[in-house]
Structure 1
Amino acid sequence: MSDDQDGDGTRLSLRERKKLLTRQALIGAAEEMFAERGFDKVTVAEIADAANVAAKTVFVYFPTKEDLVFHGEDEVLGTLVERIRNRPAGHTPLDAVADMLGEAMTTSPDGAVTELDRLHRTVGDSAGLQARMRLMWEHFELAVAAELAEETGEPPYAPRPRIAAAQLVTIYRTMASPEVAAYIGAHPENRRRKAFSDWLGVARKMTGEGIADYAKRAG
């Protein structure tokens, strides 16, 4: 998909393209400043100035400063739920999550390491960002639990879908941890896929001891 198209391939209007470019400029400026100086030492006014917009314009695109860090949250969550919902026959939610993570690393091992490193350097010791990250994982758990409950016919807050969701998101959360990023980054480039797979394999096996066959789709 090109930058001037939306998710279904429809060409964007000039106004929509300008909005997209402004959003991308704000994200780029924020990420560069956060990585260089730390989240708490960068002001919204500085980000706006770097993107050549007024400070109030930032909040049109991002309701809070923290949202500039977690700008891809909705897209990632949507993909996660979609992969669980559309998994093939014979596959479990655990299979879907593990396959999704494995494909992400296979597609771009260096990109995945770089992105994880950027995120964790940005979050750092910022209490506000750490709280925001915990809230993000909570949103993921609730959304996955709702999807599993709908599929299995259980209430959203019944024990099984909620506990299964927590474990599935824990895998995702673990693979996005600083420890995994450091472990992968410590390996030569040609060994990074293997290093990631090692971590993912352990996470999948240990989680699978509890929910391996939960909601397995009939063949």
Structure 2
Amino acid sequence: MAGDEDSARLSLRERKKLLTRQALIDAADAMFAERGFDKVTVAEIADAVNVAAKTVFVYFPTKEDLVFHGEDEVLRTLVDRIRNRPAGTTPLDAVVDMLSEAMTTSRIGAVTELERLHRTVGDSAGLKSRMRLMWERFELAVAAELADETGEPPHSPRPRIAAAQLVLIYRTMASPEVMAYVRARPKTRQRQAFSEWLTVARDMTGEGIGDYARRGD
């Protein structure tokens, strides 16, 4: 019985931690959107959630991590789609299909987290630098997945170059420029506009890596 009680208490503790983490994210997002990242302090975010400033760093080691809180989930989704793609398809197919499927939601679900990042980053030099590190992390993770699948050495050029191009498609489709282009169209034309961009990105990339790592039947 004691073990069951300990499990219940741990479960409650974990739920409270998740709620606190989400409250910090929500407060930070709202403040950053209203005033900009550089004009908001960690102490202000902590005060809004009624916790000590040092508590914020328990959940987020740096202030920048409050902005990039969804980075791990975005990366996990990208790598999972490549890893679990069907037979007969390529990594390029997997990324394009993932973005195409996102168009079934009204908010273009697969890119909304990256859209939020772009809005928050704005003109902040520190956040721009952090975003470049994020993209590099994505490329390295995808390259590692491709190298593992194809049996190539981790630092060989083919998986690394392919990864850079695959991440570039994802990065481009979530860029402020593309999303502004899409949302400038009537709602009935937005999906088509997004698809047009994605088709060009696929065709131009496919000339170089279109048949790379095609999975056997």
TM-score by length of 2: 0.91
Q: Residue 106 of structure 1 corresponds to which residue in structure 2?
A: 104
The letter for the 1-side match of 2:103 is: M
Whole-angstrom CA distance in 2 between matches of 1:17 and 1:189: 39
Cα distance change, pair 19–103 in 1 and its aligned pair in 2 (3 A): same
Match runs of 1:16-31 below 5 Å: 16-31=14-29
Query: Percent identity among equivalent residues?
Result: 84
SS of structure 1 residue aligned to 2:103 = helix
Whole-angstrom CA distance in 1 between matches of 2:190 and 2:50: 38
- Give the root-mean-square deviation of aligned CA atoms: 1.6
Instruction: Measure how far apart 1:62 and its partner are.
Output: 0.5
Instruction: Measure how far apart 1:121 and its partner are.
Output: 2.3
Instruction: Measure how far apart 1:114 and its partner are.
Output: 5.9
Q: Residue 210 of structure 2 corresponds to which residue in structure 1?
A: 212
Instruction: Measure how far apart 1:216 and its partner are.
Output: 0.3
Cα distance change, pair 136–106 in 1 and its aligned pair in 2 (3 A): same
Cα distance change, pair 214–193 in 1 and its aligned pair in 2 (3 A): same
Conserved? CA contact 1:80–1:97, under 8 Å: yes
Match runs of 1:159-178 below 5 Å: 159-178=157-176
Q: Residue 11 of structure 2 corresponds to which residue in structure 1?
A: 13
Q: Residue 7 of structure 1 corresponds to which residue in structure 2?
A: none
Match for residue 73 of structure 1 among 71, 74, 78 = 71
- How many pairs does the alignment contain? 208
Q: Residue 156 of structure 1 corresponds to which residue in structure 2?
A: 154
Which runs of 5 or more residues in structure 2 are unaligned? 1-9
Instruction: Measure how far apart 1:111 and its partner are.
Output: 5.5
Whole-angstrom CA distance in 2 between matches of 1:32 and 1:47: 10
Cα distance change, pair 117–83 in 1 and its aligned pair in 2 (3 A): closer
Whole-angstrom CA distance in 2 between matches of 1:156 and 1:105: 34
Cα distance change, pair 113–173 in 1 and its aligned pair in 2 (3 A): closer
Conserved? CA contact 1:38–1:122, under 8 Å: yes
Whole-angstrom CA distance in 2 between matches of 1:88 and 1:116: 26
Whole-angstrom CA distance in 1 between matches of 2:194 and 2:180: 11
Match runs of 1:183-194 below 5 Å: 183-194=181-192
Instruction: Measure how far apart 1:79 and its partner are.
Output: 1.1
Whole-angstrom CA distance in 2 between matches of 1:159 and 1:113: 28
Which runs of 5 or more residues in structure 1 are unaligned? 1-11
TM-score by length of 1: 0.90
Match for residue 140 of structure 2 among 130, 139, 142 = 142
Deviations 1:104-147 (A, max 9, x none): 23224366676555322211110100000000000000000000
Whole-angstrom CA distance in 1 between matches of 2:196 and 2:110: 15
Q: Residue 124 of structure 1 corresponds to which residue in structure 2?
A: 122
Structure 1 residue runs of 4+, over 3 Å off? 110-118
The letter for the 1-side match of 2:56 is: V
